[in-house]
Amino acid sequence: MSEKPTIWRALDRKAMAVAEFTLRQQRKRLSTWVVMGVGFLAMAVLTMFYIDSMLREFDAIDNDGDSRDFDMDGYPNGQENLYGTDILDPESHPGLLDPPVAPDDPSKWINEDGFDIDSLADGSYGYDDDGDCRTEDKTNSQRDTNNNNIPCDVQIYSEFYSNNAIINGDNDVDEDPDEDAYAKESIHRAFVLALGKFGFVFLIGIFVPLFMATGLIRDEMSSGTMHYMLSKPIARSEVFLYRIMGFLGLAWPYMTGMVVLAALVTGFFGPSDGFFRFSDLGVWMAVLLASLLSLLVYAMLFCLLGVLWKHGIILALPFAAWELGMILTTLGAPDAAILRFSVIGWAMNIVDAGAALTWTDTSLLIALGLWAGGNNSGSSYESSEPLTGSLALEIFASDSGLGMTPLVTIVVSVCVMLFQAATFWFVGGALFKSKEID
């Protein structure tokens, strides 16, 4: 081996010595494993609920009522509509046509006209799967009730002021979506976002540093063992930094492992055409990035609070409460200016931007779920209540609050979080330097 001095060889001295020492020290503590075990269990329990909802069947609802048979002639209303016979006259049904048509099983007319939720975009969209709009009995104007000069489509556009998606469909197009497919897709997305935001970035991101990083300097100062380290030629802010590095040496692999595990579980159980749902990887990567950064920033901050005061954890708890308030704010008002004064607000920007890059159609998916086939359909019978899953997704999905493109949002937010970490390190190091150690 050559003795050429490289940066790694240099770092292997002080930085790695302290980091390695810290890592091994944490590993020897029972409390470390208790905190990590509780974190894992909490995430596992949340995931159980998710797996349960992926495995169950969501009741299919006949949103437009065309599986009914009003005139009791054996032909469901939908089939009669399609062939242009009178749904209220038992003497008029497709069986009397030439050639006669056999009656359909009513269940065929429950989820007969769902929206295609794989790729949604602004503009003209939708296809009249069951053919009751395209039927030749209708005039062109009957086929284009939304007046966009495209027959039998759903027009989606953004409202000028609010940017909300407006959905205006022609009658009898996409009026009876598949509840089960929609619920699974939206619950899946809602869960990925909820677990990523509240589970990893918030709960693990705050509580692991709260219990493990607050004492990084403080415990050693109280017990007197800090003397061994500080009687060596090392600046105290260096000790601060390298201790955090040691903490992250344990916390980062732990977080990465949990996120990868969650990505695997949701990949296998999530709705997909193939064996594994690869399409969420972008979101999970954003979640991983945000959670690793939040571990870093919170560790720096809590270690600082520990240096500041013997009972630093008491200072950390109100901060955690503040962050909880902020993460709740990001759900409803992601562009609130107050979020700039939090850590979690920036982390949420990263997750939301990652979700925006990966699932470009989430807001439309929500809008369609709330529209639920619309009640402008001529044959609307059942009330068009929001589809299962759409409200959950509406809660956990939000736009990133910076008003920039997703990629720029991620870059800016990462820079801000790194800056926060550096500031806490700088202040914490200065505080530590001014502390007398007995």
Partner 1 sequence: MMPDPTQEGKGQTKEWKPDVDMPVVYFQGVSKSYGRIHALSNITLGLSGGVTGILGMNGAGKSTLFKLLMGKLKPSAGEIRLFGTDPWKNPAPYAKVGFVPEHEKMHDWMTALDFVSTFARLHGMTREKANQEAARVLDFVGLSDVANKQIGKFSKGMRQRAKIAHALVNDPQLIVLDEPLQGCDPLARTTVMNVIRELGKMGRTVLVSSHILNEIERITEQIIILHQGKLVALGNLHAIRERLDEIPHTIRIVGKDARSLAKDILEHPAVFGLSFPSDTELLIQTYHFGSLHAELPGLIVNNGHEVTLIDNPDDDLESLLGHLTGGGA
Nearer to partner 1, 12 or 52 (CB): 12
Nearer to partner 1, 11 or 395 (CB): 11
Nearer to partner 1, 230 or 404 (CB): 230
Nearer to partner 1, 177 or 429 (CB): 429
Helices 30-55 and 236-269 sit at what angle, rounded to 10 degrees? 20
Q: How many CB atoms lie within 10 A of CB 380?
A: 19
Give the residues lining the site for partner 1 (CB under 8 A).
9-18, 20-21, 24-25, 28, 223-225, 227-238, 241-242, 426, 429-430, 436-438
How many Å is the maximal CA-CA distance in the chain? 101
Q: Which amino acid is at 353?
A: A
Q: How many CB atoms lie within 10 A of CB 233?
A: 6
Q: How far is the CB of 196 from partner 1 (least distance, A)?
A: 33
Q: How far is the CB of 310 from partner 1 (least distance, A)?
A: 16
Phi, psi of 85, rounded to the nearest 5 degrees: -90, 170
C-alpha distances out from residue 112 to 45, 61, 143, Å: 36, 11, 18
Q: Which of 306, 323, 351, 261 is nearest to 39 (CA)?
A: 261
Nearer to partner 1, 34 or 121 (CB): 34
Q: How far is the CB of 40 from partner 1 (least distance, A)?
A: 24
Q: How far is the CB of 231 from partner 1 (least distance, A)?
A: 4
Nearer to partner 1, 194 or 244 (CB): 244
Phi, psi of 74, rounded to the nearest 5 degrees: 90, -10
Q: How far is the CB of 19 from partner 1 (least distance, A)?
A: 11
Nearer to partner 1, 22 or 81 (CB): 22
Nearer to partner 1, 99 or 233 (CB): 233
Nearer to partner 1, 395 or 427 (CB): 427
Torsion region of 437: left, alpha or beta (phi above 0 gives left; psi -120 to 50 gives alpha): beta
Nearer to partner 1, 33 or 268 (CB): 33
Q: How far is the CB of 39 from partner 1 (least distance, A)?
A: 23
- Let me know: does 290 contact 201? Beta carbons within 8 Å: yes
Rounded Cα gap, residues 117 and 104, in angstroms? 26
Nearer to partner 1, 237 or 376 (CB): 237
195, two tokens:
């677990």
> What one-character DSSP code corresponds to residue 152?
S
Q: How far is the CB of 360 from partner 1 (least distance, A)?
A: 43
> What one-character DSSP code corresponds to residue 235?
-
Question: Judging by beta carbons within 10 Å of its beta carbon (0-12, 13-18, 19+), is residue 172 exposed, middle or buried?
Answer: buried
Q: How far is the CB of 299 from partner 1 (least distance, A)?
A: 17
Q: How far is the CB of 11 from partner 1 (least distance, A)?
A: 6
Q: Which of 331, 402, 371 is nearest to 165 (CA)?
A: 371
Helices 179-194 and 30-55 sit at what angle, rounded to 10 degrees? 170
Q: Which of 22, 424, 422 is nearest to 243 (CA)?
A: 22
Element (H, E) at 157: strand 154-158
Element (H, E) at 42: helix 30-55
Rounded Cα gap, residues 84 and 203, in angstroms? 58
Q: How far is the CB of 35 from partner 1 (least distance, A)?
A: 18
Which residue in the block uniquely carries the two structure tokens 């991101």? Answer: 205
Q: How far is the CB of 267 from partner 1 (least distance, A)?
A: 39
Rounded Cα gap, residues 81 and 105, in angstroms? 15
